Amino acid sequence: MSALLRTEDVHKSYGGVRALDSCSVEIDEGTVAGLIGPNGSGKTTLFNVITGYAKADAGQVYLADKKITNVAPDKVFTLGIGRTFQLTRIFASLTVLENMLVASRHGRSSARKRAMEQLEFVGIAGHHAALAGTLSYGQRKLLELAYVLVADPAVILLDEPAGGVNLSLVNHIADRIRELNAAGKTFLIVEHNMEFVMGLCDRITVLDSGGVVATGPPDIIRTDRRVLNAYLGEDLEDDDPDPGEET
Amino acid sequence: MTAPADGPAQGAGASTAARSVLKIEDLVAGYGGGDVLRGVSLDVAEGGITCVVGPNGAGKSTLMAAISALLRPRLGSIALDGQNLVGMSPRQVLRLGVVHVPQNHSLFRDMTVRENIELGGYVLSDRALTARRVTAVFDVFPEIAGWAGKKAGSLSGGQQRLVEFARALMLEPRLLMLDEPSMGLAPKILRTVFDAIRQMNAAGTTILLVEQNARAGLRLSSHGVVMENGRVRLSGTGREVLENPEIGALYLGGAVSAS
C-alpha cells in the first residue's frame, strides 16, 4: 500500500526556532493516523505546511504522488485535503447553515441539500438556523467537521478534535470518524487525549523538536521509551544533554 | 480561622516534616459545564519547590488559576497558612503573598525593565519600600540590573522570563507560582531559567512550579506531583515521582518507566 499523503524532509523555521526539522511522515490510504508529541513539537506546523497555511523552507509534500508543496490553502482544499483547526474557525454571526454554504461549490439548492445532510451526519442539523456563535465549543467542532466534509476530501486533517469537548461528545466525534473511515476517508489527527488517539488510530507518528521520534501502532507507541522521553522533556542535569547538536 | 503568627515552623502534629504553606483539599473547579479539577488535594511545603507535571489537559494551569482566585472553585478548600482563600478576590490573594507568573509573556514591552519590576510592587503603595525591594531583587538577579534601562520588549525570551521572576519577587511572595516557565524557550536558555528558579528558592522563596519539561522540573524540585485528568495520580519527592514506572501510563496510557 502506498502513502496517500506524504511529507519528505520538510524544514520550517520561525525566526531562530526550528519548528520542523527534516520531518518525514507517511499516511496510508484508508487509515486513521495519529500525530502526537509534546507541546511545541511541530504538529500544528506540519498541518500548516501540508495545507498551505505555512510555506516549507525545504522538503516536499505529496498527495497521491502529486507534489503539492506550498500550494495555496484553497487549492489544497479542492485537491482533496480538508482540515479543521485547534481553535475553530467559523463565522460566528452567520447561521450554521450559512457557514456550510460558504464552503460549498455546488449549485444553490443541491448545496443546501448536501449541507443539511452533513449537518445531519455530525448531529447538529437541529441547529441549522442558529447563529454559529451560539453553538457550544463541541458543536463548533462538529460544524467544522461538517464544513470540511462538504468538499468531499480524500484526506481529513483534524487538529485536536477532542480538545475541550465533553466525554459524550468525544465519543460521538470518534464514532463519526470511524464511520467516515469505513466509507473510505483517510484521517490524520493531532490530539492530546491519549485514550482518544490510542483507541481510534491505526498508526501513530510521534514528533519531538520538529522531527519524527517513532511511528507505529498504538500498542507499540505507548510502550516506547523514546516517546515517553519526548513527553518528559530534556534532562538539564546531564552535562552533555545533546551531544549531536551543538558540540 | 486565623493565620498563624510568623513564628518558627510548628505543625499541629509537631512533626519534623516541613510545614505546609499551601494546603489544597478536594478541589473541584472548571469552566462552563465541565469540571477540569475533579478533587485535587495537595500540600506545598515551606521552603521547597513543589513541581506539578502531567499531560496536556490534566488541569495544571486550572489549578493555578483557582489558587490565584482567577477561577472560583465549585467545591473544596485552598488554605494559605491556614487561611481559606476561596471566595477572595485575586487582589486579596496577591496581597497575602501568592504571586503567579503566567505561562505567556506578560511584561509591558514598551516600558523599561526597571519600570516593569517596579510595577510588581504596585500594591505596596510605598515608594521607599518599593525602592528597597528593587535593590533586593537586583541582588538575587544581578544580571538584570544591567538591563534595567532597556525596553522589556527588546529582551530575549529567556531574559524576559527572568524579569518576570524579578517582578514577582517584588512582593516577597509567601508562595511563588510559576506556570510553565520553560514554554517556548530554546534548550540552552532553559538551563538559565531553571538556575534562576533554584536561585529564588535558595533565597528562601517557596515555589509551586508547573512544568511541561517534567524531567527537568522534577529533578529541580523537592516535591513532585503528577496530575492526570483533573486528579493527583502520583506524589512524592521529585525523584520518586520521576522514577515511578506509572508515570509512563499516565502520559501515554501505556507502561514504560522513565529512568
The residue among A219 and A85 whose pLDDT is bigger is A219
Of A90-94, B47-51, B177-181, least confident by mean pLDDT is A90-94
Mean pLDDT of A31-36: 97
Residue B169 lies in a domain: no
What is the structure's pLDDT at B151? 96
Tell me, yes or no, whether B156 lies in a domain.
no
Give the residue with greater pLDDT, A86 vs A207.
A207
Residue A170, classified by CB atoms within 10 Å of its CB into exposed (0-12), middle (13-18) or buried (19+), is buried
The distance from CA A32 to its chain's CA centroid, rounded to whole angstroms, is 11
pLDDT of residue B3: 42
Is B149 within a domain?
no
**For chain B, what is the mean pLDDT?**
88
Give the CATH number, domain containing residue B193.
3.40.50.300
Name the residue type at position A15: G
Put simply, whether A21 touches B (Cβ < 8 Å) is no
In the numeric block, which cell numbers belong to residue B12?
499541629
- Domain tally for chain B? 1
Q: What is the 3-state secondary structure (H, E, C) of chain B?
A: CCCCCCCCCCCCCCCCCCCEEEEEEEEEECCCCCCCEEEEEEEEECCCEEEEECCCCCCHHHHHHHHCCCCCCCEEEEEECCEECCCCCHHHHHHCCEEEECCCCCCCCCCEHHHHHHHCCHHHCCHHHHHHHHHHHHHHCHHHHCCCCCEHHHCCHHHHHHHHHHHHHCCCCCEEEEECCCCCCCHHHHHHHHHHHHHHHHCCCCEEEECCCHHHHHHHCCEEEEEECCEEEEEEEHHHHHHCCHHHHHHHCCCCCCC
User: A236 pLDDT band (50/70/90 cuts)?
Assistant: low
CB contact under 8 A, A233 and B258: no
Asked whether residue B139 is assigned to any structural domain, the reply reads: no
Residue B97 belongs to what domain range? 20-105+174-252
Which pLDDT tens digit goes with each residue over A1-16?
A: 579 999 999 999 998 7
At A165 the pLDDT is 82
Tell whether the model's pLDDT for residue B62 goes beyond 50. Answer: yes
Whether the CB-CB separation of A216 and A203 falls below 8 Å is answered with yes
pLDDT for the residue A19: 94
pLDDT in tens, B65-82: 999 999 999 999 999 999
Task: Kindly list the strands in the beta sheet with A155-159, ordered across the sheet, starting from the edge strand earlier in the chain.
Answer: A81-83, A155-159, A186-190, A32-36, A203-208, A211-216
H-run or E-run covering A153: none
Going by their DSSP bridges, the two strands B20-29 and B37-45 should be labelled as antiparallel
Give the residue among B233, B225, B223, B224 at the shortest CA–CA distance from B253: B233
In a domain, B47, yes or no: yes
**Mean residue pLDDT across chain A:** 89
**Confidence check: pLDDT of B10 > 80:** no
- pLDDT attached to residue A106: 63
CA distance A141 to chain B (A): 16
CA distances for A109 relative to A127, A143, A153, angstroms: 19, 20, 21
The confidence band for A241, taking pLDDT boundaries of 50, 70 and 90, is very low
> Grid coordinates representing A32?
486513521
Dihedral sign computed on CA atoms, order A196, A201, A204, A209: negative
User: B228: which strand partners?
Assistant: B231
From chain B, the residues in CB contact with A206 under 8 A are none
DSSP A132: G
Say which of B216, B248, B258 has its CB closest to residue A234. Answer: B216
Q: Measured between alpha carbons, how far is B184 from B103 in angstroms, rounded to an integer?
A: 10
The interface pTM score, or ipTM, of the predicted complex is: 0.70
Does residue A163 have a pLDDT over 70?
yes
pLDDT at A245 exceeding the cut of 70: no
Backbone φ and ψ for A211, nearest 5 degrees, come out as: -125, 165
B15 or A99, which is more confident? A99
Which cell numbers in the block locate residue A76? 489544497
> Above pLDDT 70, what percent of chain B?
91
CB contact under 8 Å between B186 and A16, yes or no, is yes
Nearest-Å Rg of the Cα atoms of chain B is: 18
Q: To the nearest 10°, report the CA torsion of B222, A231, A201, B232.
A: 10
Strands B207-210 and A17-23, by their bridges, are: unpaired
B229 close contact with A: CB closer than 8 A? no
Residue whose entry in the numeric block shows the C-alpha cell 516517546: A227
With beta carbons under 8 A apart, name residues in chain A contacting B211.
233
Q: Quick one: pLDDT band at residue A238, thresholds 50, 70, 90?
A: low
Question: In degrees, to the nearest 5, what angle opens at C-alpha A179 toward C-alphas A177 and A180?
Answer: 65
Annotated domain spans of chain A: 3-91+142-232
Choose among B55, B213, B219: nearest Cβ to A194: B55
Output the CATH code of domain A3-91+142-232. Answer: 3.40.50.300
pLDDT digits (tens, 9 = 90+) for B120-174: 988 888 889 999 999 999 999 999 999 999 999 999 989 999 999 999 999 999 9
Residue B228, min C-alpha distance to chain A (Å): 11
Q: Which pLDDT band, with edges at 50, 70 and 90, does A107 fall under? A: low
Name the residue in chain A with its Cα closest to that of B257. Answer: A225
A107 or B5: which carries more pLDDT confidence? A107
The answer to whether residue B8 is domain-embedded is: no
Q: Given pLDDT bands bounded at 50, 70 and 90, which one contains residue B17? A: low
Q: Which of A108, A105, A107, A135 is nearest to A122 (CA)?
A: A135
